[in-house]
């Protein structure tokens, strides 16, 4: 297991790389360049990013995300040019040592919350929160406006301004789109990129829908074990994997997250993982919790044990943290609570390893 940390680049992320390096056991980043979906990642940009990360004593073996252009998801004729760009970016990233690319295939929206800073009355911290009832009253444009207003001046992943301006038009493009058509468009994309990944030694890791159900009537095809069974079969290759995000999948209590890790881990189809906890508050209603098992509804020991047993070489990052100690950061991506999360996950890992060592 390699413990990593999501970082948005020195221009966009207030957390200096040396702080990340100081978190015990941190090997590298799940890093990204701030590029619009569909654009080629240029050689000099990639070189500069990799150099900066290496200078800080960290690795950059995982990129999160190279975003998939909406025309690919919609299956428009223009998709071929965007897929070609994607292939060029894969080749380039591989030359600079990248091994995994995390991406998603969610129509229009990436992850979605109805409140980015919900007070947790028990301890005065706050965390990301979702209640479908609030969404019903809002509609997509309102939620986007609220998200932009509530993000402390940061751009949230998947909510890049250039995409938001086209939101209404994009939503119209999805009218009549079915799960099956979206899945066919996904297959077309995979058929275009997976052979390049195989050549270049890169794995694509698809992030699940977050939350783990359709929103605003848009089709979503990646939020259960059955969904991912279909997705990995669309183009059967060890390079076609998932980024198993425990919090996204775990937002639906019907998903048995440790069982899913065992299932896809044994198939060698987990390219990377996001590990965090979630507290269920009702139907399609949850808030994010501290990583510690007792703070939420996921069993983080069972999760790490499944990783240890079935995909011990994967990349992990602590996922969204709460805002604690008065930190003013990017919602979900502050320093402190994610650092606590990493320390806790490393502690679980050490205990699992030593227990096996001593009992053998």
Q: Which residues are catalytic?
A: 207, 245, 274, 319-320, 333
Which region, judged by CB under 6 A, interacts with ligand DNO, from 72-80, 97-105, 115-123, 301-309?
97-105
Q: Is 61 in the site for ligand DNO (CB under 6 A)?
A: no
Q: Is 223 in the site for ligand DNO (CB under 6 A)?
A: no
DSSP annotation string for 300-335:
HHHHHHHHHHH-TT-EEEE----B-TT---STT--S
Q: 102, 62 in Cβ contact below 8 A?
A: yes
CA proximity to 57, closest of 94, 96, 23, 91: 23
Task: Show the tokens assigned to 274.
Answer: 């996001």
Q: Considering only residues 7, 20, 65, 352, which one is a binding residue for ligand DNO as defined by CB under 6 A?
A: 65
All residues at 6 or more sequence positions from 347 whose CB lies less than 8 Å from its CB, including other chains: none
Q: Considering only residues 274, 279, 308, 330, which one is a binding residue for ligand DNO as defined by CB under 6 A?
A: 274
Measured from the CB atom, the residue of 66 and 324 that comes closer to ligand DNO is 66
Residue in this structure with the two tokens 């990642």, named with its chain if needed: 41
Measured from the CB atom, the residue of 103 and 352 that comes closer to ligand DNO is 103
Cα–Cα dist 279/72, whole Å? 34
Interface mask (CB under 6 A) for ligand DNO, residues 1-40, using x and -? ----------------------------------------
Nearest approach, Cβ of 354 to ligand DNO (angstroms)?
30
Q: 110, 73 in Cβ contact below 8 A?
A: no
Nearest approach, Cβ of 51 to ligand DNO (angstroms)?
23
| Burial (CB count within 10 angstroms: exposed 0-12, middle 13-18, buried 19+), residue 129 | buried
Q: Is 220 in the site for ligand DNO (CB under 6 A)?
A: no
Cα–Cα dist 311/284, whole Å? 30
Q: Considering only residues 59, 61, 64, 71, which one is a binding residue for ligand DNO as defined by CB under 6 A?
A: 64
Q: Please enumerate, as own/partner, the contacts of 329-332 that have beta carbons within 8 Å and a separation of 24 or more.
A: 329/14, 329/15, 329/152, 329/154, 330/8, 330/13, 330/14, 330/151, 330/152, 330/154, 330/156, 331/116, 331/117, 331/128, 331/150, 331/151, 331/152, 331/154, 331/156, 332/116, 332/128, 332/288
Interface mask (CB under 6 A) for ligand DNO, residues 170-209, using x and -? -------------------------------------x--
| Enclosing H/E stretch for 188 | helix 179-200
DSSP annotation string for 110-143:
SS--SEEEEEETTTTEEEEEEEHHHHHHH-HHHH
Cα–Cα dist 49/53, whole Å? 6
Measured from the CB atom, the residue of 321 and 352 that comes closer to ligand DNO is 321
Q: Is 289 in the site for ligand DNO (CB under 6 A)?
A: no
Q: 30, 63 in Cβ contact below 8 A?
A: yes
Nearest approach, Cβ of 172 to ligand DNO (angstroms)?
23
Measured from the CB atom, the residue of 157 and 334 that comes closer to ligand DNO is 157
Q: Considering only residues 110, 160, 198, 309, which one is a binding residue for ligand DNO as defined by CB under 6 A?
A: 110
Measured from the CB atom, the residue of 58 and 66 that comes closer to ligand DNO is 66
Q: Considering only residues 173, 271, 332, 341, which one is a binding residue for ligand DNO as defined by CB under 6 A?
A: 332
Measured from the CB atom, the residue of 157 and 173 that comes closer to ligand DNO is 157
Which region, judged by CB under 6 A, interacts with ligand DNO, from 13-21, 104-112, 254-262, 298-306?
104-112
- Residues that bind ligand DNO (rule: CB under 6 A) add up to a total of 14
Among all residues, whose Cβ is closest to ligand DNO? 65
Q: Is 102 in the site for ligand DNO (CB under 6 A)?
A: yes
The residues binding ligand DNO (CB under 6 A) are 64-65, 102-104, 110-111, 157-158, 207, 245, 274, 320, 332
């Amino acid at each position: 297991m390699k413990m990593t940390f999501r970082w948005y680049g020195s221009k966009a992320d207030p957390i200096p790389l040396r702080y990340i390096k100081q978190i015990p056991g941190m090997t590298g980043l799940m890093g990204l360049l701030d590029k619009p979906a569909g654009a080629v990642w240029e050689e000099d940009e990639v070189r500069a990013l990799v150099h900066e990360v290496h200078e800080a004593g960290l690795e950059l073996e995982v990129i999160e995300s190279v975003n998939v252009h909406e025309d690919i998801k919609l299956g428009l004729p223009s998709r071929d040019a965007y897929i070609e760009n994607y292939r060029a970016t894969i080749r380039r990233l591989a030359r600079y040592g990248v091994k995994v690319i995390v991406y998603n295939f969610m129509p229009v929206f990436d992850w979605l919350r109805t409140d980015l800073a919900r007070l947790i009355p028990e301890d005065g911290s706050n965390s990301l929160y979702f209640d479908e009832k609030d969404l019903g009253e809002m509609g997509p444009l309102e939620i986007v406006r609220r998200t932009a207003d509530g993000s402390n001046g940061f751009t949230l992943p998947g909510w890049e301004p250039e995409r938001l301006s086209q939101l209404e038009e994009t939503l119209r493009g999805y009218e009549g789109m079915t799960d099956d058509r979206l899945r066919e468009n996904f297959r077309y994309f995979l058929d275009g990129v997976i052979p390049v990944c195989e050549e270049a030694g890169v794995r694509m890791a698809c992030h699940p829908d977050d939350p783990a159900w359709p929103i605003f009537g848009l089709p979503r095809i990646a939020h259960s074990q059955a969904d991912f069974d279909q997705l990995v079969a669309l183009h059967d290759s060890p390079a076609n994997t998932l980024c198993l995000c425990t919090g996204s999948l775990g937002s639906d209590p019907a998903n048995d997250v440790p069982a899913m890790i065992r299932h896809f881990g044994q198939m060698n189809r987990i390219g990377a993982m996001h590990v965090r906890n979630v507290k269920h508050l009702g139907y399609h209603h949850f808030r994010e919790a501290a990583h510690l098992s007792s703070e939420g509804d996921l069993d983080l020991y069972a999760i790490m044990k499944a990783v240890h047993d079935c995909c011990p070489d994967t990349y992990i990052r602590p996922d969204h943290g709460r805002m604690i100690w008065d930190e003013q950061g990017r919602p979900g991506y502050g320093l402190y609570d994610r650092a606590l999360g990493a320390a806790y996950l490393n502690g679980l890992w050490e205990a699992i390893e030593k227990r096996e060592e001593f009992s053998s």
